[in-house]
């Protein structure tokens, strides 16, 4: 069963594209010694002490629109290990979302595990959708001397196809859905705020890779480009989530537990998975 919640008029559904094998935590967090994970084993690692990976995607659905936040690793040459293909389209169908039902695709940033299904073989996967991408991230990734394959195949074509909307921070995309600038992981990385009926949630994008980072916001992920900025964004988002009592959805957290709340008990921060 997909984890799901409702923020006012907007339903949030956690699905995934692909769950790769778990990895030793030193791989995603090369600067964190293995023993430093000890206090977080239960909350953040598998029973074998491995880091559980997940390429999660969130569906936003209301009477007014259907959108998806991020599109996973996708099919084709950039897909998972051993040629495993992402399951996004099957998993969308399982929650009754067909590719032509999607009005908007929102990419939190242009990394291969977030744009994989945007465009397949030059055609937009979501035939009716506008695609929303951070202007800063777009300018960063599309002006490199050597354009990365996933940028060339899954991002650049959006412009020529006429389906691209570049957005700034704090810009409304749909009613109740707007960008929140959280740079660092990538230069234009954006989290997505959802506000409806007096309730609010945030889809973190890659600000959060493990519950341990709630207590250890200084732990940086291997792929964080500007590590200092990533830490600043993470601290800001954690404080905001606690202060504003946000529901939090973090695509890289464990598949069956990636919507929840950040709770503070005696000065320590914990991840509390959404109760069924
Ligand atoms: Zn990612």
pLDDT digits (tens, 9 = 90+) for 236-266: 999 999 999 999 999 999 988 999 999 999 9
- pLDDT at res. 2: 77
Specify the pLDDT at position 77: 55
Taking alpha carbons only, the member of 69, 48, 73, 19 closest to residue 253 is 19
- For the cut 60, the answer to whether the pLDDT of residue 78 exceeds it is no
Dist. CA 33 → ligand 1 center (Å) = 22
Name residue 221's beta-bridge partners. Answer: none
**pLDDT of 275:** 78
Please give the mean pLDDT across all residues of the chain.
Answer: 94
Q: pLDDT confidence of 8, banded at 50, 70, 90?
A: very high
Q: What angle do CA 186, 177, 135 make, to 5 degrees?
A: 35
- Each as own residue / partner, the long-range contacts of residues 78-82 (CB below 8 Å, 24 or more positions apart, any chain) are 78/112, 78/116, 78/149, 78/150, 78/153, 78/154, 79/18, 79/116, 80/18, 80/20, 81/20, 81/21
In this prediction, residues 177-200 reach a mean pLDDT of 98
**Residues found in the chain:** 276
Q: Which CATH number fits domain 4-273: 3.30.565.60, 3.60.21.70, 2.140.10.10, 3.60.15.10?
A: 3.60.15.10
Question: Percent of the chain at pLDDT above 90?
Answer: 91
DSSP secondary-structure letter at 232?
A: H
Q: 223 alpha carbon to ligand 1 midpoint, in Å?
A: 8
Looking at 1-5, 145-149, 211-215, which range is the least confident one?
1-5
206 Cα to the center of ligand 1, angstroms: 5
Q: How many angstroms separate the alpha carbon of residue 1 from the centre of ligand 1?
A: 23
Question: Would you place residue 83 in the very low, low, confident or very high pLDDT band (cuts 50, 70, 90)?
Answer: low
Give 276's pLDDT tier (boundaries 50, 70, 90). Answer: low
Note the pLDDT of residue 207: 98
Q: Does residue 84 carry a pLDDT above 70?
A: no
Query: What pLDDT is attached to residue 80?
Result: 53
CB 58 within 8 A of CB 193: no
| CA 251–ligand 1 middle distance (angstroms) | 8
**Quick check: helix, strand or coil at residue 15?**
strand
52, two tokens:
């559980």
Q: Between 3 and 81, where is the model more confident?
A: 3
Per-residue pLDDT at 53? 93
- Ligand 1 centre to CA of 114 (Å) is 6
Instruction: Report the distance separating Cα 165 and Cα 132, nearest Å.
Output: 5
pLDDT at 75 over 90: no
| CA of 118 relative to ligand 1 center, distance in Å | 15
The gap from C-alpha 198 to its chain's centroid, in whole angstroms, comes to: 23
Residue 90 pLDDT exceeds 60? yes
Q: What mean pLDDT do residues 210-235 have?
A: 97
Given this model, what pLDDT does residue 86 score? Answer: 78
* Strand pairing class (190-196; 177-181): antiparallel
Q: What is the DSSP letter of 51?
A: B
Ligand 1 centroid from CA 111, angstroms: 6
Share of the chain above pLDDT 70, in %: 96
How many angstroms does the Cα of residue 266 sit away from the middle of ligand 1? 31
Instruction: Identify the pLDDT of residue 79.
Output: 56
Distance 273 CA to ligand 1 centre (A): 20
């Amino acid at each position: 069963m997909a984890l799901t919640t409702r923020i006012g008029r907007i339903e949030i559904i956690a699905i995934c594209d692909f769950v790769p094998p778990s990895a030793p935590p030193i791989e995603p967090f090369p600067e964190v010694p293995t023993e430093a994970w000890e206090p977080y084993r239960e909350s953040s690692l598998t029973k074998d002490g491995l880091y559980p990976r997940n390429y999660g995607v969130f569906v936003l659905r209301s009477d007014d629109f259907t959108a998806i936040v991020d599109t996973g690793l996708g099919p084709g040459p950039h897909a998972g290990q051993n040629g495993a293909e992402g399951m996004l389209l099957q998993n969308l169908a399982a929650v009754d979302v067909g590719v032509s039902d999607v009005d908007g695709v929102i990419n939190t940033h242009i990394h291969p595990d977030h744009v994989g299904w945007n465009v397949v073989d030059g055609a937009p996967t979501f035939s009716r959708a506008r695609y929303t991408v951070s202007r800063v991230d777009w300018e960063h990734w599309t002006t490199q001397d050597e354009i990365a394959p996933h940028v060339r195949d899954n991002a650049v074509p959006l412009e020529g196809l006429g389906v691209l909307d570049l957005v700034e921070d704090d810009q409304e995309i749909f009613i109740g859905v707007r960008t929140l600038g959280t740079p660092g992981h990538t230069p234009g990385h954006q989290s997505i705020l959802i506000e409806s009926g007096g309730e609010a949630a945030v889809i973190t994008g890659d600000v959060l890779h493990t519950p341990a980072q709630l207590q250890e916001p200084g732990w940086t992920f291997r792929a964080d480009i500007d590590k200092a900025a990533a830490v600043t964004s993470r601290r800001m988002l954690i404080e905001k989530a606690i202060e504003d009592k946000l529901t939090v959805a973090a695509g890289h957290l464990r598949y069956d537990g990636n919507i929840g709340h950040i709770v503070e008990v005696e000065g320590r921060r914990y991840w509390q998975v959404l109760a069924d």
